[in-house]
């Protein structure tokens, strides 16, 4: 604690990302990265990149990327906001739409960055308790609130809401912004993009980090009615005019254009997930029904923390959250078939 820190900084409780250890090479199943490389088009972009152009600022409005995303989702350009990863987009959305005098709602078991944003931007919140089976109690999101954030599928459970359930939440909250955080939607959940034209309170946030294999370039985006997008632009342009660099812009555009490759990879991951889930269930693991590129698992007799440590010793990293209700669970990213074979082998020796 320093005397120079602002009152705000003193009370912060920053987010801690999954570890990125440098001591040895791990089978890394702890940060939900995609095991497959990005679209082959990305290679061409980097090889042919005009290095001289780096002396110039990027387009602050990222028009070409917005055009490409708009076309991809069948919306207009002014329905699209882009940012430096979906975390930045979420942070801007908290500033743009939530207030100091009205409690927002999000699930108690969810992305652990939400309370961090609420804290730094001084927004009061109430967590909605998931049911015993970790599904989201839709009715609890119909009470008075200053805004809602729900990941679909939820993290770290992987469990998805149906589009009808999301629509029910949107319909009953027409005066507040409902953020559906679709970071993992491409791995089996249904996107709410089609509801944008119907509900002006809906903001969808997605990312290229997971399903497009581009965690390394930091591009996330929001889709919603143009008033919401304009709110995000106002916040962004009060913090940083140029949030996405020239290389990332071009890489992102090429990646979004290559849907065949991306769909094929998503399908491979879903297939691997199906196989791994079946193997784990045979070994007395409880496995949540996942629509994401990770699974949330708990063993009937062996403590999650012990499995986590033993796996780490064996060179396999998964994510363990030492938090109430989920401290006997592990979140395991779905890697390549080869990585998951190693994971299953190690699990077998542990249990």
Q: Among residue numbers 237 through 256, which ones bind its own copies (CB under 8 A)?
A: 237-248, 251
Nearer to its own copies, 9 or 127 (CB): 9
Is residue 78 within 8 Å of 169, Cβ to Cβ? no
Binds its own copies by CB under 8 A, chosen from 200, 258, 314, 339: 200
> Can residue 59 be called a binding residue for its own copies (CB under 8 A)?
yes
Of 57 and 325, which has the nearer Cβ to its own copies?
57
Residue 42 Cβ, how far from its own copies at the closest point, in Å? 5
Q: Which of 26, 49, 67, 171 binds its own copies (CB under 8 A)?
A: 49
DSSP per-residue codes, 146-215: S-EEEESS-TTT-PPPPHHHHHHHHHTTTTS-EEEE-TTGGGTSPPSGGGTTT-TTEEEEEESSSTTS-T
| Of 225 and 298, CB closest to its own copies | 225
The only residue of 80, 148, 228, 317 in contact with its own copies, by rule CB under 8 A = 228
Residues 121-180 touching its own copies, rule: CB under 8 A, are 175-177
Of 130-138, 153-161, 179-187, 213-221, the segment contacting its own copies by CB under 8 A is: 213-221
The SS3 assignment for 224 reads: strand
E strand or H helix at 298, and its extent?
A: strand 294-299
If binding is defined by CB under 8 A, does position 295 make contact with its own copies? no
Residue 213 binding its own copies, by CB under 8 A: yes
What is the closest distance, in whole angstroms, from the C-beta atom of residue 117 to its own copies in the complex?
Answer: 7
Start-to-end CA distance of the chain, whole Å, equals 43
Among 151, 153, 188, 231, binds its own copies (CB under 8 A): 231
- Please, which residue, 89 or 307, has the CB nearer to its own copies? 89
Residue 267 in the binding site for its own copies (CB under 8 A):
no
Least distance (Å) between residue 233 CB and its own copies: 8
14 near its own copies (CB under 8 A): yes
Question: Which residue from 62, 75, 96, 317 is in contact with its own copies, where contact means CB under 8 A?
Answer: 96
Nearer to its own copies, 128 or 219 (CB): 219
CB count in 10 Å sphere of residue 213: 21
The CB-of-315 to its own copies minimum distance in angstroms stands at 17
Does 7 bind its own copies (CB under 8 A)? Our answer is: yes
Report which of 195, 220, 252 is spatially closest to residue 93, judged by C-alpha positions: 220
User: Which one of the spans 117-125, 135-143, 275-283, 297-305 is the region binding its own copies (CB under 8 A)?
Assistant: 117-125
Taking CB under 8 A as the criterion, the residue among 66, 69, 79, 85 binding its own copies is 85
Structure tokens at 73: 């989702």
Q: What share of the chain is helix, strand, coil (3-state, %, to 5)?
A: 40, 15, 45
What CA–CA distances, in Å, run from 206 to 79, 134, 222? 13, 23, 6
Taking alpha carbons only, the member of 282, 115, 273, 275 closest to residue 184 is: 273
Is the previous residue joined to 107 through a cis bond, with omega within 30 degrees of 0? Answer: no
Q: How many residues bind its own copies (CB under 8 A)?
A: 86
Q: Is 272 in the site for its own copies (CB under 8 A)?
A: no
Residue with tokens 């040895």, as numbered in its chain: 24
The token duo for 12 is 């912060």
Could you tell me where the beta strands, DSSP code E, fall in 7-72? 27-28
Q: Give the span between the Cα atoms of 299 and 304, in whole angstroms.
A: 7
């Amino acid at each position: 604690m320093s005397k120079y820190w602002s009152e705000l900084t003193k009370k912060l409780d920053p987010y801690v990302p999954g570890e990125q250890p440098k001591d040895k090479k791990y089978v890394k199943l702890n940060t939900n990265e995609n095991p497959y490389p990005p679209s082959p088009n990305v290679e061409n972009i980097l090889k042919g990149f005009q290095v001289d152009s780096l002396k110039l600022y990027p387009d602050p409005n990222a028009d070409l990327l917005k055009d490409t995303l708009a076309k991809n989702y069948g919306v207009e350009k002014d329905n699209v906001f882009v940012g430096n990863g979906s975390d930045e987009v979420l942070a801007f959305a908290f500033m743009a739409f939530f207030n100091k005098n009205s409690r927002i709602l999000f699930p108690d078991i969810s992305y652990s960055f939400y309370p961090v944003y609420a804290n730094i931007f001084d927004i009061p919140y109430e967590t909605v308790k998931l049911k015993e089976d970790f599904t989201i109690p839709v009715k609890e999101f119909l009470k008075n609130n200053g805004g809602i954030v729900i990941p679909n599928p939820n993290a770290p459970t992987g469990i998805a809401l149906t589009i009808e359930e999301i629509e029910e939440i949107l319909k009953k909250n027409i005066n507040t912004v409902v953020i559906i955080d679709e970071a993992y939607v491409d791995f089996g959940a249904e996107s709410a993009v089609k509801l944008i034209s119907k509900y002006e309170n809906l903001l969808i946030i997605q990312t290229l980090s997971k399903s497009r294999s581009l965690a390394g370039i930091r591009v996330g985006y929001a889709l919603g009615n143009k008033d919401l997008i304009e709110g995000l632009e106002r916040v962004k342009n009060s913090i940083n005019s140029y949030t996405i660099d020239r290389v990332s812009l071009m890489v992102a555009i090429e990646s979004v254009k290559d849907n065949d490759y991306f769909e094929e990879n998503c399908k491979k991951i879903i297939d691997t997930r199906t196989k791994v889930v079946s193997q784990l269930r045979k070994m007395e693991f409880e496995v949540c029904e996942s629509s994401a590129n990770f699974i949330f698992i708990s063993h009937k007799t062996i403590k999650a923390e012990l499995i986590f440590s033993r796996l780490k010793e064996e060179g396999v990293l998964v994510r363990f959250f030492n938090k109430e209700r989920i401290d006997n669970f592990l979140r395991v990213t779905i890697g390549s078939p080869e990585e998951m074979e190693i994971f299953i082998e190690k699990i077998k020796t542990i249990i």
